[in-house]
């Protein structure tokens, strides 16, 4: 069974340590992880790095990670820095 983590508000360098810790703990405790990104209002390169790390670490551990419903801040930043093809997202019904 997968565990849902919702990331909301700002996901910037100022929240990076807390975000990393939250996702690391969830990944360590769950067989699979779903991360809802639909409520993010601000997103920067540090958060993008964390998502890339999370998907790679999940693959390394054999624990699937699904990134769900990225909003405009997430999509815009990833396109701007050329990482939009690096991450795969699933859309969910809101």
How confident is the model at residue 84, as a pLDDT? Answer: 87
Alpha helices for 1-94 (secondary structure H): 16-29, 45-61, 72-80
* Cα atoms found within 13 Å of the Cα of residue 55, Cβ hemisphere only: 13
Q: What is the pLDDT of residue 1?
A: 72
CB-CB contact of 43 with 77 (8 Å): yes
* Token duo for residue 91: 């859309």
Domains and CATH numbers, the chain: 2-90 (3.30.750.24)
What are the mean pLDDT values of the chain's consecutive 10-residue runs (94 residues total)? 93 98 96 97 98 97 97 96 92 65
Residues in the chain: 94
pTM attached to this predicted model: 0.92
Supply the pLDDT for residue 93.
Answer: 53
């Amino acid at each position: 069974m997968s565990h849902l983590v919702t990331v909301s508000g700002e996901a910037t360098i100022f929240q990076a340590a807390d975000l990393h810790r939250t996702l690391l703990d969830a990944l360590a405790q769950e067989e699979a992880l779903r991360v809802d990104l639909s409520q993010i209002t601000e997103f920067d390169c540090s958060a993008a790095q964390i998502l890339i790390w999370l998907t790679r670490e999940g693959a390394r551990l054999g624990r699937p990670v699904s990134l769900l419903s990225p909003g405009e801040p997430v999509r815009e930043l990833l396109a701007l820095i050329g990482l939009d093809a690096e991450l795969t997202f699933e859309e969910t019904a809101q």
